[in-house]
């Protein structure tokens, strides 16, 4: 059977080219996503600033939870923090007394905002942790002196720290870009947390075990690449993000590949029905036919998957670079390449090809030998009942997933569920395509030969309709899901911001001074952060409550924000909490707190899932300098006027990049399927030419056929996107989805342009040959 499969591949290269292209792209996408997952699983950040100290003692970079398993046992869960956990400065003295320790240097970190943007300041004594060498000048000794990485000695530099604005003289320029350095005493004065430090460097390396025993649970002790984990807090979160993004992209790509390859093999088998029927007529058993087609699929799968997987490695490197450029992944987390991603791509793609081919071969393989040749010459009059049942099951899955979407209120859950819902509906369209084509093509304004061609072979029309619908549905769903949330968040922020000015960054002393200015009715300090409960991360804002009603309206539905004080919190609706409940969370630096809910509000998309007292948030973030909402109508203040304080959405660019990859993959499969379908009609096109039609007339007929199918795909794909987004909007925003008709028209136009190009190019190639030669050619 393998020899027959090799013979078929050798003599029908054009028929299998489409399947090869689809499988190649699928393997490349899956391998690229696998490299992201490999980086997330095995990636480590090498230390930069802490490279000079063999042992680093620091706060725990993770939050820890105990999850009740329901049988009296608890499972420990750890999640990365978004802020640095500080440790007592007195711990340095304890470490110095440990036998074997030669030196222990504490590090104090100070957030600094200067002319060049944000930076981190330190006391000069901690320069030994890198170590930092001076290119010019000397070390800072007095309170008004500073060392910078870029600048000139003698320059005056104004910076903002949590202690307020200050002016410093540059006395040194460092060779390494390790932040700015104050004198040791000045760094201690400027520190946001007196009596605490961010890390302690210890020498020599052999003292690590003794130091670990001495500090106990008060801190963590890291050596080697483990020092990078406590230096770059974003690394662990980025690793988790890479795993989830890689799994979501890879899973979606695999589902798209299954749909695409099934359609491609369906057209290939359909174009070979005469050949396969002849095998049945000369006593080939159904099993032998299925084995032949399955063997061909395995050969094509291997031939396409291996180079596709290799091509996925540079694609994965490019994706990693783009994520680093967009800020979703820190540059300190290098790409990790290994055998897992290519092997996983081959292991996923080859079975997908085999399954798609076996499914496509069911009808021809079951024909009785006496029916085979006659059946092969005709288009089946009905859709197989098994396909109809599978399509109805996909419809049921789409309904269930849409209903589930209406009850999902978090990005983490709705992110993978939304494209899965659209894919379920698209699968139903693909399976029920012949029935839909038969029922709906009569409604399309196309007459004569165009309508006759479309209705003559609904299987071919359905095979082309599937990838077109997939591209339009996925594009609309993924793009408009992002805009639905962003528009709702911006609208809530606009409606809830009563302040006339938004100023910042601002320290507590500056805010107090601003409150005393004439004409200022209220000043609300706002500090944004991320906190975590055992099951989910939450966006949160810390606010000062004095005059809060003058600057912000969260649309409270129960309780009152007047009760917001130490030990309390306000939460948005859909978090499952009511007034009086207890909320257990870990702050940004991992500190566990238990808070009593005093209010529930609706505008959580615009202002955050949680609203907390400002002092609580400021005590557990790296940069305790937020913005200030100022109610001062008619007063001219320096800052940004009447700006909506909408929620941060730094992942938008990453989401759009992921959207582009998936849609590009769907577009490639659509072009591939259309080109294969047109190439398989060379005999039909030649017959039209012999009947007296000109090349221009044939091409115009094909264009009208394609436009008719695009119109139907636009209606089906738009319907899928709208239904999916209705469920998404009900859960995430509580409102109707953002579905701009102009943008959707652009999506349809792009799909239509690709479809016309995919139709015209192979058609022109087929029409170049003499019609008589084509009809007389051996199949």
pLDDT digits (tens, 9 = 90+) for 479-520: 898 889 888 998 999 999 999 888 888 888 889 889 989 989
What confidence tier does 126 reach under pLDDT thresholds 50, 70, 90? very high
pLDDT of 371 reads 58
Q: What percent of the chain has pLDDT over 70?
A: 87
Q: What are phi and psi of 372, to 5 degrees?
A: -60, -50
For residues 683-690, give the mean pLDDT: 75
Contacts for 51 with CB less than 8 Å, ≥ 6 apart: 130, 227
Give the residue with greater pLDDT, 259 vs 568. 568
Beta-carbon contacts of residue 735 (< 8 Å; ≥ 6 apart): 488, 729
Q: Which residues contact 400 (CB under 8 A, 6 or more apart)?
A: none
More confident call, 755 vs 443: 755
pTM score, whole prediction: 0.81
Reported as a pLDDT band with limits 50, 70 and 90, residue 441 is low
Say how many C-beta atoms besides its own lie within 10 A of residue 702's C-beta.
Answer: 23
Top mean pLDDT of 579-593, 651-665, 692-706 is at 579-593
> Integer distance in angstroms from the first to the last C-alpha of the chain?
20
pLDDT of residue 214: 92
Distance, CA of 354 to CA of 336 (rounded, Å) = 31
The DSSP code sequence of 106-169 is EE-EEEEEETTEEEEEEEGGGGGGTT--EEEE----STTEEEESSS-TT-EEEEEETTEEEEEE
Nearest to 608 by CA among 511, 496, 693: 496
The pLDDT of residue 194:
83
From residue 160, give the alpha-carbon distance in Å to each of 68, 152, 599. Answer: 45, 20, 34
pLDDT category of residue 457 using cuts at 50, 70 and 90: low
Query: Span 744-757, mean pLDDT?
Result: 89
Cα distance between residue 428 and residue 439, in whole Å: 15
Whether the per-residue pLDDT at 172 is higher than 90: the answer is yes
User: What pLDDT does residue 364 have?
Assistant: 67
Q: Are strands 592-601 and 556-559 parallel, antiparallel or unpaired?
A: antiparallel
Mean per-residue pLDDT over the chain, rounded = 84
Instruction: Give the lowest-confidence range in 15-29, 421-435, 454-468, 641-655.
Output: 641-655
Contacts of 660 (CB under 8 A, 6+ apart): none
pLDDT of residue 46: 86
Least confident of 208-212, 418-422, 740-744, 772-776: 772-776
pLDDT at 68 over 60: yes
Evaluate whether 413 touches 667 at the Cβ level (below 8 Å): no
pLDDT value at residue 645: 37
**pLDDT value of residue 405:** 92
Identify whether the C-beta of residue 362 lies closer than 8 Å to the C-beta of residue 384: yes
What digits encode the pLDDT tens for the residues 238-247? 888 888 888 8
How many angstroms separate the Cα of 694 from the Cα of each of 447, 452, 767, 769, 771? Answer: 19, 18, 10, 13, 11
Q: Give the Cα separation of 126 and 105 in Å (integer).
A: 6
Per-residue pLDDT band for 6 (boundaries 50, 70, 90) equals low
Tokens of 111: 């957030």
Sign of dihedral through CA atoms 10, 14, 17, 18?
A: negative
* Contact status, residue 63 vs residue 369, Cβ threshold 8 Å: no
Residues 242, 243, 247, 253: is their CA dihedral positive or negative? positive
pLDDT band at 401 (very low <50, low <70, confident <90, very high): very high
* Longest alpha-carbon distance in the chain: 101
Q: Give the H or E element holding residue 503.
A: strand 501-506
Residue 671 confidence (pLDDT) = 79
pLDDT (0 to 100) of residue 647: 40
**E strand or H helix that includes residue 755:** helix 741-768
Is residue 622 scored above 80 in pLDDT? yes
Q: How would residue 778 be classed by pLDDT, with cut points 50, 70 and 90?
A: very low
Q: How confident is the model over 81-110, as a mean pLDDT? A: 93
- Report helix angle 695-732 to 448-456, nearest 10: 60
In the prediction, which pLDDT does 640 show?
45
pLDDT at 770: 57
* 454 against 686, higher pLDDT: 686
Question: How much of the chain exceeds pLDDT 90, in percent?
Answer: 38
pLDDT digits (tens, 9 = 90+) for 628-675: 999 988 787 765 443 433 344 445 677 777 777 777 877 777 777 777
Asked if residue 191 has pLDDT above 70, the reply is yes
For tokens 């174009």, the residue is 271
Predicted confidence (pLDDT) at residue 763 exceeds the cutoff of 90: no
pLDDT at 211 over 90: yes
pLDDT of residue 174: 93
Averaged pLDDT, 553-567? 94
Q: Residue 678 pLDDT more than 60?
A: yes
Residue 695 has pLDDT above 70, yes or no: yes
Identify the residue with better confidence: 519 or 267.
519
Q: Write the pLDDT tens digit of every residue in 148-158.
A: 988 899 999 99
46-62 confidence digits (pLDDT tens): 898 999 999 999 999 98
Q: In whole angstroms, how far apart are CA 150 and each of 129, 136, 157?
A: 20, 11, 12
Q: Tell me, what's the pLDDT at 618?
A: 93
- Using pLDDT thresholds of 50, 70 and 90, give the confidence band for residue 779: very low
Across 691-702, average pLDDT = 81
* Residue (of 27, 656, 102) closest to 302 by Cα position: 27
């Amino acid at each position: 059977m393998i020899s027959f499969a090799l013979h078929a591949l050798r003599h029908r290269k054009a028929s299998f080219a489409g399947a090869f292209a689809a499988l190649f792209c699928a393997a490349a996408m899956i391998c690229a996503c696998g490299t992201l997952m490999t980086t997330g699983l095995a990636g480590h950040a090498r230390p930069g600033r802490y490279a000079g100290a063999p042992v680093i003692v620091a706060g725990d970079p993770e939050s820890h939870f105990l999850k009740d398993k329901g049988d009296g046992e608890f499972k420990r869960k750890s999640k990365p923090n978004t802020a640095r956990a500080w440790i007592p400065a007195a711990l340095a003295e304890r470490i110095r007394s440990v036998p074997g320790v030669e030196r222990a240097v504490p590090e104090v970190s100070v957030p600094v905002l200067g002319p060049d943007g944000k930076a981190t300041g330190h006391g000069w004594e901690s320069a030994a942790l890198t170590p930092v060498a001076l290119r010019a000048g000397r070390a800072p000794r007095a309170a008004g002196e500073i060392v910078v990485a870029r600048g000139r000695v003698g320059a005056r530099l104004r910076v903002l720290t949590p202690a307020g604005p200050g002016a410093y003289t540059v006395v040194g320029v460092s060779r390494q870009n390790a932040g700015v350095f104050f004198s040791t005493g000045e760094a201690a004065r400027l520190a946001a947390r007196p009596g605490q430090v961010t890390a302690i460097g210890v020498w020599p390396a052999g003292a690590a075990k003794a130091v670990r025993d001495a500090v106990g649970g008060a801190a963590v002790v890291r050596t080697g690449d483990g020092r990078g984990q406590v230096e770059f807090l974003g690394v662990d979160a980025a690793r988790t993000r890479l795993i989830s993004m890689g799994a979501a992209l890879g899973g979606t790509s695999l589902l798209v590949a299954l749909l695409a390859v099934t359609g491609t093999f369906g057209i290939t088998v359909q174009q070979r029905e005469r050949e396969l029927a002849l095998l049945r007529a000369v006593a080939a058993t159904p099993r032998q036919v299925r084995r032949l087609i399955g063997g061909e699929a395995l050969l094509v799968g291997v031939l396409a998957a291996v180079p596709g997987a290799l091509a996925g490695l540079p694609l994965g490197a490019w994706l990693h670079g783009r994520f680093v450029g967009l800020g979703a992944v820190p540059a300190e987390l290098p790409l990790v390449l290994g055998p897992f991603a290519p092997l996983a791509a081959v292991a996923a793609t080859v079975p997908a090809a085999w399954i798609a081919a076996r499914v496509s071969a069911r009808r021809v393989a079951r024909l009785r030998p006496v029916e085979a040749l006659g059946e092969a010459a005709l288009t089946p009059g009905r859709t197989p009942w098994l396909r109809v049942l599978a399509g109805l099951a996909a419809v049921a899955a789409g309904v269930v997933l849409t209903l589930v979407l209406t009850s999902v209120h978090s990005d983490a859950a709705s992110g993978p569920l939304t494209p899965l819902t659209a894919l379920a509906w698209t699968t139903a369209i693909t399976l029920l395509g012949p029935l839909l084509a038969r029922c709906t093509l009569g409604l399309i304004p196309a007459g004569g030969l165009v309508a006759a061609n479309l209705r003559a072979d609904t299987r071919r029309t359905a095979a082309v309709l599937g990838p077109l619908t997939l591209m339009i549905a996925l594009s609309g769903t993924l793009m408009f899901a992002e805009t639905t949330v962003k528009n709702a968040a911006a609208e809530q922020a606009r409606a809830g911001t009563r302040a006339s000015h938004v100023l910042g960054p601002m320290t507590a002393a500056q805010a107090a001074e601003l409150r005393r200015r004439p004409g200022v009715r209220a000043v609300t300090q706002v500090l944004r952060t991320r906190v975590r409960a055992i099951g989910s991360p939450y966006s949160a804002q810390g606010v000062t409550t004095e005059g809060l009603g003058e600057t912000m309206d969260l649309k409270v539905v129960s309780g009152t924000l007047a009760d917001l004080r130490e030990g309390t919190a306000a939460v948005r609706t859909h978090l499952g909490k009511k007034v009086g409940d207890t909320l257990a969370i870990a702050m940004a630096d991992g500190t566990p707190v238990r808070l009593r809910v005093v209010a529930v509000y609706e505008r959580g998309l615009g202002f955050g899932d949680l609203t907390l007292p400002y002092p609580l948030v400021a005590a557990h973030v790296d940069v305790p300098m937020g913005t200030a909402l100022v109610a001062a109508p008619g007063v001219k203040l320096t800052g940004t006027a009447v700006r909506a304080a909408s929620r941060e959405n730094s992942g938008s660019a990453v989401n759009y990049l992921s959207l582009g990859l998936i849609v590009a993959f769907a577009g490639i499969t659509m072009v591939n399927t259309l080109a294969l379908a047109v190439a398989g009609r060379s005999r039909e096109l030649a017959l039209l030419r012999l009947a007296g039609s000109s090349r221009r007339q044939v091409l115009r007929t094909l264009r009208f056929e394609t436009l008719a199918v695009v119109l139907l795909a636009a209606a089906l794909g738009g319907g899928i996107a709208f239904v999916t987004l209705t469920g998404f909007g009900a859960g995430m925003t509580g409102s109707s989805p953002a579905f701009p008709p102009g943008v959707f028209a652009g999506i349809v136009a792009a799909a239509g342009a690709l479809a016309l190009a995919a139709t015209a190019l192979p058609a022109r190639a087929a029409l170049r040959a003499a019609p008589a030669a084509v009809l007389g050619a051996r199949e």
